[in-house]
Structure formats: C-alpha cells, structure tokens
Structure 1
Amino acid sequence: MRIAVEGCMHGELDKVYATLLELQQIENIKIDLLICCGDFQAVRNNKDLECVSVPSKYRIMNSFWKYYSGEKIAPLPTIFIGGNHEASNYLWELYYGGWAAPNIYFLGFGGVIKFGNVRIGGLSGIYNSHDYEKGHYENKLPYSENDVRSIYHVREYDVHKLLQIDEPIDIFLSHDWPAGITDCGDLNTLLCQKKDSRKLELEIHDGTFGSKPAAELLRKLRPCYWFSAHMHCKFAALVQHGDEKDSRCTKFLALDKCLPGRKFLQVIEIESRTGPHEFQFDEEWLSITRKYNAVLPLTMSNANYDNIIHVDIEKCRQFVRNKLRTRGSKVPFEFVQTAPCYNPNSQPVANGQVNPQTEALLQFLELEYRFT
C-alpha cells in the first residue's frame, strides 16, 4: 500500500490534492491513502471560523467547504486527526470519528481504524498540563473564548483508552511530537531549521518540549510508524524499543505545513493485502469504547474508572465481534451534512451539534448518547 503523509493542512485541500495528483502522473504511481497529522481545518461556514483558535486575520475559509458541500470530491481516501487550529465545534460532533466530508474521515479525539488491513491509531489535539486531567467540559455551544482555546487540549481519558490497546498498531498519529523524540534524531539539523532555535533548545534541555502523553503512548504501543506535524518543519527519528530480545523500532516523521518549497508531504510504502482498500471498524477499539463510554467525562472532573471496574472487556469484545459478524466491518455510516455550507452572499447561521453518524455508532454499540 502506498500512503501519502501530510503535515499541517490548514484548509489547503485543493493544493495538497493537486500536488498528489501531479505526483501520481509524473511518477506513474497510485497513492492509496492520504494521512493528515492535524490542523486540518474542516471549516464548513463562517460560524465554524468563530470556533477556530487563531487570530482573526487567519480566519480564512480556504477550501474544505467545497468538499463538504459536494462541489468537489476528495480524489484520494483521506484520514486526519485534529490539531490546535481546528473548527472544534464540528470535530466535537464526530468525537468518536466519522466522515467529515465524502471520502474524508476524521479519526476522532482518540481512535483506531483499519484501512484495508493497515491499523491506524491517533490522538487529536495538543498537550497542555493545565487541562490534561479535566473532562471534556467544552461540550455545549456557544463556546467562550476560553473554550475555543482549551477544547483541543488532550485529555487523560482519551489517552487512558488508547493505553488499553494490546494488539499491534501499524501507524500512529499525533499533532504535537512525543516528548523526548528529539533524542532519537538529528537535533542539530532540526535547530538549524527553526528561527526560534534557542527557545526550542532550552525547552528540549529542560524537558518541557513535546507531549508527555504521546511519549507514554509511544512506549506502550510501539507502532511501526509515528507521524506528527505542529512544528512546521521536517524531522525524522528512529526509536528503538526494548532490549536485545526486542528489536522493534518506530520510524518517526514530522512534516511541515502546505506552503511552496516546504517539506509537507512524504510518500511511504507499507506491506498490506492487495486492494481495493476501504475504511473498516477496529474490533479491539470498539470493545474499548464500549467499556469506557459510561465514564466519558463531560464536566471539569476527570473520569471515575472505579465505576466500570466490573465491566469485562472480553464480554465487550464478544459483543462487538457478534455485531461485526452481522453487519460487516466496513464503516457502515454515510456522511451527513449537519450545518449550512459556506455561501459568501448569506449571513452566518447557527450550527447544530448532533451528528447522525455519532448517534448511529452509539446505537450500533448499544450505548447511551450522552452529549445532550
């Protein structure tokens, strides 16, 4: 399988897809999947722009709305995670993941899915110690100014769920870099790329650079590949795991944002079954979701895991297996528009929060809808 990896999208879907189509033609290759490592900016309309945490001069519609409206269709299957510059209100609708537009799949605030037989996991947002142990309290519109700045902060609950994964992961995505990753690559070359290299060097030296939860996930999951963005530069590293008896390693790669002359794309080849490939539910991840959904924290307080200590994960696994045997593992839910699409000649209209895909997934898992 040939996979294109992109750093920060910043809403530039037209440019990224055009680059990939040209690459396919020049190299006479077929790219099977595009992965984006955050700051995707799935902005549907002007109301969504109000929920993007950027200065007003950077609140630009860009091109996602064309794919949301159906004016254009993504030429490649696309999967993305969230970063720190997102239409967070829309991504919250798809907390568990789902189609943000036809052929464009959001992995959720934390999640795992399969494309063909390639297992892809990811964690949206960036780490901030102040909010890490809080719940997802920013779950009602309209968002305050503080909510817009905090909703994309990684929460311990989502990391805790990802830490329950035992089966091998092929690819993992995070927007910010795992803490300590710079020890495994060419730090001097990295510092030469950054204008604020002195500040970065000091952060690395005192241990404040990078995401500690991402580093914990890297140690536990040990994926074959880990891709990130956020720092707007290209950086590669090789992480060795274990000891002489455990030769596994993770190839880490961070990429730039979509600008001329910048290193924002990389194409890799990964072993997989022959296509055609499609997005499929991951049995283990749905089992974890079924077990932990009852303690999804929707206030300032973190989850109380004592309330589900009695829930048997193996029974959850058997439940999910039976469901998938009946329905099939292919993601069964269709993309649904839940907000008006951008129209430069109309006034902004309030956007809803209930997404039929989220409702359908919870019904599929026979779980309570807890967002309202």
Structure 2
Amino acid sequence: MSSTQTFFFAAVGDVHGHMHRMVSHLTAWEERNRKPLDFVLQVGDFEPHRDDADLTTMAAPMKYRHLGDFAAYHQRRRRFPWPLYFIGGNHEPYGHLDLHPEGASLAPHCHYLGRTGVVELNDLRVAGLSGIHREATFTKPRPPLASMGDVSNKDFTFFNEQDVERVLALGHADVLLLHDWPAGIIPPEEAANFEGLRRSANPELVGNEYARLLVDALQPQLVLCGHLHRRYASTVQHPNGQQSRVRCLASLDQGADAFAVFRVHGTTLQEVSEQA
C-alpha cells in the first residue's frame, strides 16, 4: 500500500441475502458524510442466490433458505453503486460459487474472490479465504461439485489445508477477509461473554488456529470477519512490532453493528466511525 490518495471503503458483515438493505445503509452513510465509498468488502454469508436452484445448494435449515435480493442485481434490474468484493461463508450457494473457485464477477460491480483470492484496490492488497474450519476434513479435498446432492451441502462449506497454503503463498496483504474469527483474539476475562457463540472445534476457544496462522503470516493492517453475528474489535501484536487490527462485524439483521467505514491515506488505514 503506497498510494498518496485519500479514499474511503466500507466493510459489511453477514448479509444473508439482504442486498437492498445493505445498499440503503451505505448510500445513506455517503449522503450524511458527503464522502463517496470507493468499494465495499464483505466477509461471507452474502448469499448471492440467483434462483431457487441455487437455494438447494446452500447448507442451512429450510426455514433459513430464502431467495433474498440478489436476483435483482444478477438480472440487472438493480445495480450496486460501488464495486463490491466478497468471500464465501458457511451459508452460500456453493453449487454456483464453486463453478468459479478462482473467483468471478457475478453481477455488475459484484465480485466473488473465490475459495482463496487477492485483489488490488487503489494500491490496497486485499486477500480472502472462504468458508469455515472443520478439523475432521481439513487435510482432505472437498467433494467434487458433481457429487452435490449425493453428499451433504455442509461438506462444501469448509476450507481445507490447500486453501490455507494458497493464502500463505500470497506473502502479504493489507486487508485479510475471513468468515470465521482467528483464534486468540478474545482475552480470558471476556470468554464468558461468548457462551453459545464459539462454534469452534475447541469449546474453550473462539475462532480457529488456521485463520490465526494467516493473520500471523500475512500481518495485514486490518482483518475483517463475520460469522458469529457479533461486533468485536481486537488487535494482534506481532513479534516484529507490527500490529493487525481485527474488526469482527455483526449480521445485517442487527443494524449498524454490521458496518464499518475506513479512511485510507498513503500507508495509513483508519476506522472513521465506530458505526457506519
């Protein structure tokens, strides 16, 4: 990151198909602050369902399978006002997304980063890892897409060792997008506040060690994550003196806690408001 320009971008937590609500909130922020957003980053559970067939490939109980707003953007009846880049979570139409494991543009101004991916945005290097962790399948390949329908949809929601290695090979990122939280960001005195929210292989921990490995290796200025439907801020201190700020965002259903806006000037990346 070396540009001397000043710009703003937004980060959004789990959208769960509510694209219209997301656009309304962020365009209202632009109007209130008289600042344009250059782009938007989203941390998974975006749910870009084009049709009912996509819904059948999502891992979720039937009561949570709703078509959502994405069809309007895919059919070009509506358009995102700014470029949007998202990773996959654990509630996505992977029957569609896994046709593009390296990433793709799914609609005007809407870009999937793939199972792993990196993009340069205004000299800001943004890397992402889709999915969540399951230890039992971490060292195994995902099922082939052709097996969807014969195996559980959940089997497509997990990242694996190869995915982590691909992100590690990127060498550096200014911003790292994760769905699940990195382990070790919750101090022991706050552990009780996360009862029932851990969703971890280790019931004593929040997050997973492989997400933390990526934070430690890439040393991004900013880590963005979702998944637990809770806003939280932390900092990871690296041995070389560098710091990574971690910003976990809530679900869109929870309102302003799902949003954050950042100002970038030169090599400085700063959160400009606690709530967008």
Could you tell me the TM-score, scaled by structure 1's length?
0.66
Match of 1:155?
A: 160
Match of 1:211 among 203, 208, 211: 208
Distance, in Å, in 2 between the alignment partners of 1:88 and 1:39 is 11
How far is 1:80 from its partner? 0.2
Report SS of the residue matched to 2:162.
Answer: helix
Q: Where does residue 238 of structure 2 map in the other structure?
A: 241
Identity of aligned residues (%): 27
Alignment match, 1:252: 246
Equivalent residue, structure 2, for 1:164 = 169
Mapped contact 1:116–1:272 kept (Cα < 8 A)? no
User: Which protein is richer in helix relative to its size?
Assistant: 1
Amino acid at match of 2:264: I
Pair 1:202–1:144, CA change in 2 (3 A): closer
C-alpha displacement at 1:110, in angstroms? 0.7
Q: Residue 136 of structure 1: CA displacement?
A: 2.5
Whole-Å separation in 2 of the counterparts to 1:178 and 1:171:
14
Q: Is the 8 Å Cα contact of residues 76 and 103 (structure 1) preserved in structure 2?
A: yes
Per-residue CA deviations over 1:219-270 (Å, capped at 9, x if unaligned) read 111100000000001000011101xxx2210000000011254510010112
Q: Provide, for residues 119-170 of structure 1, a one-character-per-residue CA deviation record: whole Å limited to 9, x for no partner.
A: 0001000000011111122321543351x1110101111111211222x311
Q: Residue in 2 aligned with 1:96?
A: 102
Match in the other structure for 1:71: 77
| Uncovered stretches (5+) of structure 1, i.e. residues with no partner | 274-372
Alignment map for 1:241-320 (pairs within 5 Å) = 241-242=238-239, 246-259=240-253, 261-272=255-266
Q: Give, as a single letter, the amino acid of the residue that structure 2 aligns with 1:216.
A: L
Whole-Å separation in 2 of the counterparts to 1:73 and 1:114: 22
Q: Are residues 1:179 and 2:178 paired?
A: no
Q: 1:208 to 1:191 in 2, by over 3 A?
A: closer
Preserved CA contact (<8 Å) 1:226 1:250: yes
Pick from 20, 28, 40 the counterpart of residue 22 of structure 1: 28
Residue deviations 1:301-342 (CA, integer Å, cap 9, x gap): xxxxxxxxxxxxxxxxxxxxxxxxxxxxxxxxxxxxxxxxxx
Residues matched between the structures, number: 261
Retained in 2: the 8 A contact 1:118–1:272?
no
* Matching residue of 1:108: 114
What residue is the counterpart of 1:283 in the other structure?
A: none
**Cα deviation code 1:5-53 (max 9, x no counterpart):** 0010101110000111111111111111111100000100000000111
Q: SS in structure 2 opposite 1:21?
A: helix
| Secondary structure class of the residue paired with 1:4 | strand
Alpha-carbon offset, residue 81 of structure 1: 0.2
| Structure 2: gaps spanning 5 or more residues | 1-6, 268-276
- d(CA) in 2 for partners of 1:164, 1:14: 36
Q: Is the 8 A contact 1:123 1:174 kept in 2?
A: yes
Name the residue aligned to 1:47. Answer: 53
Q: Give the drift of 1:210.
A: 1.2
What is the Cα-based RMSD across aligned positions, in Å? Answer: 2.1
Report the Cα offset of residue 200 of structure 1: 4.8
Q: Which residue of 2 aligns with 1:352?
A: none
Secondary structure, aligned partner of 1:238: strand
Instruction: Answer with 1 or 2: which has the greater Rg.
Output: 1
Using the TM superposition, give the Cα deviation of residue 78 of structure 1 relative to its aligned residue in structure 2, in angstroms: 0.2
Q: 1:113 to 1:207 in 2, by over 3 A?
A: same
SS at match of 1:119: strand
Distance 1:35 1:203, change over 3 A: closer
| Letter of the 1:149 counterpart | K
Is 1:83–1:230's contact at 8 Å kept on the other side of the alignment?
A: yes
Q: Tell me which residue corresponds to 2:273.
A: none
Determine if contact 1:107/1:122 at 8 Å carries over to the other structure.
Answer: yes
Residues 336-351 of structure 1 aligned to structure 2 (within 5 Å):
none
Greater strand content: 2
- 2:198–2:205: 8 Å Cα contact kept in structure 1? no
